[in-house]
Structure 1
């Protein structure tokens, strides 16, 4: 049905309900009263029914009952229903005496008690009305979540099409280059592996240390292309490659080495990288010679600071991140627990 398909808002649904209530009341009065009198009474009754229901679900119930003030809630409901019943009775009688009565009638206790009892029944219905509104809102939110999930899945599929197309293209170029220039083909393969890491591995919560090491090695080989002279680089690894760590933690240090610690015009660039597993912890260290002239004097070390913020989120205070100069050698060290 359209009412429960999410095509109507909660306000539109309530408007439809009250129009229906008005029509039902009027049709029930027409056999006994003239059209004008039935129309006037239907408006009065519908308005007071709405006042009772919304007075409870929007004011009394949330302000008193939901805050644990149960006695005050009961007292407020009694006063509220008596007040609404009396006001409704006098308005109804006034309209009747003014427009429809052959002769004026006086208000009696019996008439007032009838209006008050009728208000009690409508008050009880207000809880059903409240549940219906909550159900409608929950159903609409569920449908919105499903739509958002479907759209997110569609966007994900779209985002995967382009990288996979690029990977396939790189593979074709690799096979072509392998026949003519094997070294170029190797570089293409390393670039493809790096891009695949960004797409497939970096979104994960954790990756294997072996995967992270392979990524770093591919990155180093590609960085060497930009450097004129040979780099004296050692990369020692003494840890279980099957253990897991969050992705891209180690990369910041390696990137900083090539960004700030390499002088392309020098023949004496030295880099030492070590990865050690010790007492359930992983210790990653990079050491590089400091160029005579800083390559980027305006650098403020955003990479290290961003890494520190990420480490705080991941490990709270259970990590050690340090950087320091030892003469003409720059040392960066990271100590984190293994998962």
Structure 2
């Protein structure tokens, strides 16, 4: 079963090939020779064949040919095969005379030539052997990659169990809260949508503009809970919401408004947000009043700096990002190409 399930290693597979090859040689020689003679010559021939094949694919070919030493490789092959043929011929004849011949025989040039020619044939087969090893090694690596990918997908599914369990729990709380406190239920629903966005949408390369708008609106509604007084918010949306943009590009501006641009003790906080489609580009602009006492001044600017780096990676220099502080009004503007 290991053979057909692809679980054999490259070394095990090669041993299996040599065992089959050894058995085939024995069966072919037994037609004319006895079992002992066939076994002896099968072992002898298999050993020399292995020396030729591995001598080429593990030593001669990588050390000479692959390093550009073609002429030296050809000369080395000639010497190698000639030497192997001569040694194999004399050993074969010696074993035959010692164990199986009725009377000693001498090595003829014709017999020696046949050993050299057969060595050349095995040498040519070594390239097929090398290709086969490379193929199975590549297949093994491919199977490992597929297995790791499958495991990664399984781990991802496992990692999504807890967030989705939380979503389901929030939904249950929502239905319970809806009966007693509809406003609280609405906030729970918005929180659930924001969390679902982070899990399902933010890892994507692009998301629909409509999805991004919904995310921003949910975020605004949750942020408004922390503000004592009502905020005047205008959100002008004039664009095709089915078009796509990278996720979380617009969020930095909105987040900065609530971090640095809201005076919780003031009754005069105003926010204007516009999202416009203009000649194949998307223009996102925000305008908010500046509090008399700066909020989180030490951290101001890091979000925009990170956003600029991300924009450079996404669009190189095909974008515009600008901010302007007029004292009592803070303006931010982003212009990017639409996908």
Q: TM-score, normalised by structure 2?
A: 0.80
String of CA shifts for 1:98-123, please: whole Å, max 9, x gaps: 99999987655334312211112212
2:273 paired with 1:273 = yes
String of CA shifts for 1:26-74, please: whole Å, max 9, x gaps: 6666774795x87765554333312322344445556777789877766
Partner of 1:191: 191
2:204 paired with 1:204 = yes
| Partner Cα separation in structure 1 for residue 90 and residue 332 of structure 2 | 85
Partner of 1:155: 155
Deviation at 1:335, TM superposition (A): 0.8
Deviation at 1:218, TM superposition (A): 0.5
| Partner Cα separation in structure 2 for residue 21 and residue 242 of structure 1 | 64
Partner of 1:51: 51
Deviation at 1:281, TM superposition (A): 0.7
Deviation at 1:324, TM superposition (A): 4.0
Partner of 2:285: 285
2:167 paired with 1:167 = yes
Where do 1:96-245 residues align within 5 Å?
108-245=108-245
Where do 1:9-24 residues align within 5 Å?
9-22=9-22, 24=24
2:299 paired with 1:299 = yes
Deviation at 1:306, TM superposition (A): 3.3
From the superposition, tell whether residues 66 and 323 of structure 1 become closer, same or farther in structure 2 (CA, over 3 Å): farther
Deviation at 1:177, TM superposition (A): 1.4
Q: Calculate the aligned-residue CA RMSD, in Å.
A: 3.7
From the superposition, tell whether residues 40 and 309 of structure 1 become closer, same or farther in structure 2 (CA, over 3 Å): farther
| Partner Cα separation in structure 2 for residue 27 and residue 84 of structure 1 | 24
Q: TM-score, normalised by structure 1?
A: 0.80
Deviation at 1:253, TM superposition (A): 1.9
Structure 2 regions of 5+ residues with no counterpart?
Answer: none
| Partner Cα separation in structure 2 for residue 300 and residue 17 of structure 1 | 69
Deviation at 1:245, TM superposition (A): 1.6
| Partner Cα separation in structure 2 for residue 66 and residue 46 of structure 1 | 27
String of CA shifts for 1:131-150, please: whole Å, max 9, x gaps: 43244334434443443444
SS in structure 2 at match of 1:3 = coil
Of 83-92 and 218-227, more deviation after overlay is shown by 83-92
Partner of 1:308: 308
Partner of 1:255: 255
Structure 1 regions of 5+ residues with no counterpart?
Answer: none
Contact 1:6 1:139 in 2 (8 A): no
| Partner Cα separation in structure 2 for residue 38 and residue 298 of structure 1 | 88
String of CA shifts for 1:134-171, please: whole Å, max 9, x gaps: 44334434443443444344334434443433333322
From the superposition, tell whether residues 127 and 229 of structure 1 become closer, same or farther in structure 2 (CA, over 3 Å): same
Deviation at 1:213, TM superposition (A): 0.9
| Partner Cα separation in structure 2 for residue 293 and residue 165 of structure 1 | 42
| Partner Cα separation in structure 2 for residue 253 and residue 21 of structure 1 | 72
Partner of 1:331: 331
| Partner Cα separation in structure 1 for residue 263 and residue 194 of structure 2 | 24
String of CA shifts for 1:173-201, please: whole Å, max 9, x gaps: 22221221121111112112212222333
SS in structure 2 at match of 1:225 = helix
From the superposition, tell whether residues 111 and 170 of structure 1 become closer, same or farther in structure 2 (CA, over 3 Å): same
